[in-house]
Structure 1
């Protein structure tokens, strides 16, 4: 049918002009428009909605990902703030524990010093008492020895026996008293 139309059109014109290579024939334009309309209809009806659906899904996925990322960021920031608060609390608690340990250490040192002083005083008192007891013992032993020696010496000097105990005790006491006064005068 198209061919018949083309032949009829070329016969009517009589003289036939050569076709312009830049301008297509009218039937080419019509068929091109029909094909373009069909392709446009198919794109408009099927391809563009599917493409729009894919773009919407992608946009929703991206927006959902952004929202999830923002939520995760907010949660991470909240956890970081909580961690920092816990860390600050732990530091304060550690400082309090260190201060309490220092206080207890000072108290222990003071108690140990007091205990050492008490023990030292007790040891000094025991030593002093023991020293006094030993001195008393030595003095009494020396008095006894010195008394016997002085009696022996006095017997040799006097030439008589000093067997009377009262007389011996008086002689020993007098001799020791003289020794104490001589010792005190030489100490001055």
Structure 2
């Protein structure tokens, strides 16, 4: 509590100010304080405030320019996206068309291959039938000659005379084979 007493004593010895006067400054202090505030305010208004305003305006312009660029970039991106989607749908349509053409071409190739295979099979079958017919005819001729020789020899033994005459031998063989064929045909029907 001691320190307060000297302050009060100093205040009391200051010229008799008491109460609210202790808080109010002297008139000359208010005047010079007002002069300094006005000088600082003028300096602030004259030099500092224009620079601050200029800096703020530049920042506003940069921000607005950035926003305009961003909007422009957004518009370009939207246009590019729309173009991309259009190209993608075109590419899908083209791929579907190519796929359909390939299927049609594949079906044509398969049909052509089947046709050629059918033609080749028919030709091979026809050649095989001709070859079988030729071999059958050749076998019949060879069999006829062999059977004829055996029949002639058998007939010669049975009859007891030689059938060396070619014309007679041919007639006997033909008659024998005709009888064989007739009997075979009679058995089939």
TM more than 0.5: yes
TM-superposed CA distance for 1:186, in Å, is: 2.6
In structure 2, distance between residues paired with 1:34 and 1:117 = 119
Runs of 5+ consecutive residues of structure 1 not aligned to the other structure: 1-15
TM-superposed CA distance for 1:48, in Å, is: 0.6
Q: Deviations over 1:38-83 (max 9, x none)?
A: 0000000011100001100111111000100111111111111111
TM-score normalised per structure 2: 0.89
Counterpart check, 1:117 vs 2:85: no
In structure 2, distance between residues paired with 1:35 and 1:21 = 23
TM-superposed CA distance for 1:163, in Å, is: 1.6
TM-superposed CA distance for 1:185, in Å, is: 2.5
Match of residue 90 from structure 2: 89
In structure 1, distance between residues paired with 2:124 and 2:136 = 18
In structure 1, distance between residues paired with 2:67 and 2:22 = 56
Secondary structure class of the residue paired with 1:161: coil
In structure 2, distance between residues paired with 1:27 and 1:186 = 163
Q: Provide the alpha-carbon RMSD of the alignment.
A: 1.1
TM-score normalised per structure 1: 0.89
Runs of 5+ consecutive residues of structure 2 not aligned to the other structure: 1-14
In structure 2, distance between residues paired with 1:57 and 1:148 = 131
| Greater Cα shift, 79-88 or 141-150 | 79-88
Match of residue 47 from structure 1: 48
Secondary structure class of the residue paired with 2:155: helix
Q: Deviations over 1:84-103 (max 9, x none)?
A: 11111111000000000000
In structure 1, distance between residues paired with 2:148 and 2:56 = 132
Match of residue 5 from structure 2: none
Superposition map of 1:31-42 within 5 A:
31-42=32-43
In structure 1, distance between residues paired with 2:25 and 2:187 = 158
Q: Structure 1: which 4+ aligned runs deviate by more than 6 Å? A: none
Secondary structure class of the residue paired with 2:22: coil
Match of residue 4 from structure 1: none
